[in-house]
Amino acid sequence: MDDVTSQTTGCHASVHFHHRGHVLARYSSRHGHLARRLFQLYAGLALYGASSALLVRSGLGLEPWNVLHQGLSERTGLSMGVVLTIVGAAVLLLWIPLRQRPGLGTISNVLVIGAAMDATLAVVPDAHAMAVRVPLMTAGIVLNGAATGLYIAARFGPGPRDGLMTGLHQHTGVSVRLVRTAIEITVVVTGFLLGGTVGVGTLLYAVTIGPLAQVFLRFFAVPSASDGSQVVATGQPRRAILRP
């Protein structure tokens, strides 16, 4: 009888420790999953700001929104990073009537990218020789694509300008492509009139950032916490591009 009791007790203890070990493993996996996502979020935002600064220093053209930021910077005397942050906060206020809900990534976008841009501009000087300007432009575009993949794959919410785009799409019924085109033409023209730089870099960015983002989204896809499968963007990457 004692042997049977001992065996039963041992069996129950084994099951208990097995279950406890399984719970601890799942807890550790989830926290590791969250840590990776947070790392990707902030690494992506910082890299986005730094890569945008490289495009500024190349002098060969900027992303659409940064044409506007640079133009406003020229007119106000504020740094581009500060202008980027102010514009981002203003765009975020437009989410209220559009009933969009910001995520951690949305708020972090407003706070981190501008700071990273100003920090990079402080240490990277203007380039004058074309042999330096072209590599700076190329590096800026490619690293911007990598930053986009890092940030979006972390799945902490869209940037404020992307939320504006999707919110207008939902409230007007106009296609995302048309809304995006209208917004970007508006900011590019306005920025150019204010003194922002439009050039070959602007064009190359427009035609390459979508494919680059798709490649890096797959490369940086974060495995699901539940089954280890990877979550990869399957839609048009141009509809999910992070904007500073």
66-70, 78-82, 222-226: range with lowest mean pLDDT? 222-226
> Can you tell me the distance from the alpha carbon of 175 to that of 238, in angstroms, rounded to the nearest whole number?
13
Q: Does residue 240 carry a pLDDT above 60?
A: no
Give 74: exposed, middle or buried? Use CB within 10 Å, 0-12, 13-18, 19+. Answer: middle
Question: Higher model confidence: residue 229 or residue 118?
Answer: 118
Tokens (6 digits) for 139: 């590096």
The pTM score is 0.80
Can you give the pLDDT at residue 181?
87
Q: Does residue 79 carry a pLDDT above 90?
A: yes
DSSP assignment letter at 230? B
Mean pLDDT of the 143-150 span: 94
Question: Higher model confidence: residue 27 or residue 115?
Answer: 115
Question: Which tens digit of pLDDT belongs to each residue from 30-58?
Answer: 666 889 999 999 999 999 999 999 999 99
DSSP symbols for 90-141: HHHHTHHHHT----HHHHHHHHHHHHHHHHHHHHSPPP-SHHHHHHHHHHHH
